[in-house]
Structure 1
Amino acid sequence: MTSPTNPASPFPSSAAGTPAPGYPMPPASGPAPEPKRSWFARHKILTGIGAFVAVGIVASALNGGGGAGSSNAAATSPAAQSIASIASQATAGQDSAAAPNPQQQTQNDDASKADAGKADTGKTGSGPSFHGKQSSDVVGNAGDTIDDDGIQVTATAVSAGDATLGPTACSTITITNGSKNTLDVNALDFTLQDPAGAISNSGFMGSSNHLSASKLIAGGSVSGDVCFDADVSAGGQYVLLYKPTLSLFGHRRAWINNL
């Protein structure tokens, strides 16, 4: 008697449920096992972070080796264009400041003409040069008003004075005390240097209106002539010098006379 055969199975089986000799083992019944997922699928967050870092490294490497292309991109970036625009505006402002305004230049010229009769006393050693000039001298031309420490002194051009007792040279002096202190005035504070470099003291001949010795209070003014025993008829450069003997302050003033 033969063993019964399971009509639903293509494999003959024995009574024990095992396949007959010569037939393979039938597949196991039940659901198929779920396939095992990869490491990346099981760790999505770490995978995303790693991808972000990798992209950053690649981008950094590309930027570092961009060469001329990277330089051109940086030069044409909005930030670079903004900096270039600011630099251009600053340069334009400097050029505008350096360019003289014709109207302002005219005003400056007019002011210079108005001050032509007043020596620049802001700096020692200023003004024209002459033989024997000292570094601290404040120099002007004949007829100039020299203001030093508030003391304003005007000296007219040297000219021939009264020659009854011999040739003389005189200049009319006006002194205004613009300082806060009392000023001692004396004709002996003036000397005259001739073209040869000899310096003469003032005398009492040559004029009837000599500068008198006096004291000037603040705001006071005095005028008179200072004369010297000198013959200026031959011409040349004569320098009138003024240095108050009793004053501890102020500089020596000089007026150049080219006769």
Structure 2
Amino acid sequence: MMTQGMFENYFLPGVWVTVQVTLFSAALAAVVALIVGTLRASRLWIVRFLSGVYFELFRGTSALILMFWLVFAVPLMFRWQFAPMYAGVLALGLTYGAYGSEVVRGALAAVPVAQREAGVALGFTRFQRLRRIELPQAWPEMVPPFNNLLIELLKGTALVSTIMVADMTYAGNLVRIGSNESAPVYTLLLVLYFVMAFVLTRGMRVLERHAKAGVGQAPPRGGLWSRLALRESAGEGSGALTAGGAAR
């Protein structure tokens, strides 16, 4: 059976490596998504074309194969050696950044045209309109899709185990080989990934609440039961109004 020493010596360091890969990849993906997504909304066709090429290239390639290419092909082609963890972060960040750029582009496109025209009337430059008008209104619409991408990125970090990065999955395989116990190891891995995804989701929900509050669209703070109670009270109020109208 898996011992306490195996958990402390393998799983805990693997959890920390997974957290690092997730955070670094998410930071890189956020920067790439913001830049590429903004460029895809440009008025210049050449800028839209080049950013679109990037989007299609990384959307149509495998993050796993990109990791292999960075680790095994780049040293042969360019005499440059990537550390496995850096290669994994780069591959995940560029890939999920391409997905996130479509979220940014769509959110910017959803900003009402009248808001952009107001910025032009005030004499704002393109950068000023983007910073002061478009991004603040588009940001609340980006958070829910970014939440999904972040969870997918967390689960995608398991790919780095194939290039010898000692994340949770890599540590789990070592423990499975050492203890000859597959069921407890993979069950624990499922639980750990679920807990981490749940924590990230709750954090993104808080971020979404603050983002919507910034534009006057804050959702109710209560949980499921309080929302149901609000709906029931609203239904009773509308029923009372209807009955009052019928009595008249």
Q: Under a length normalisation based on structure 2, what TM-score does the superposition of the two structures give?
A: 0.19
Q: Which has the higher strand share?
A: 1
Q: Which has the higher helix share?
A: 2
Q: Under a length normalisation based on structure 1, what TM-score does the superposition of the two structures give?
A: 0.18
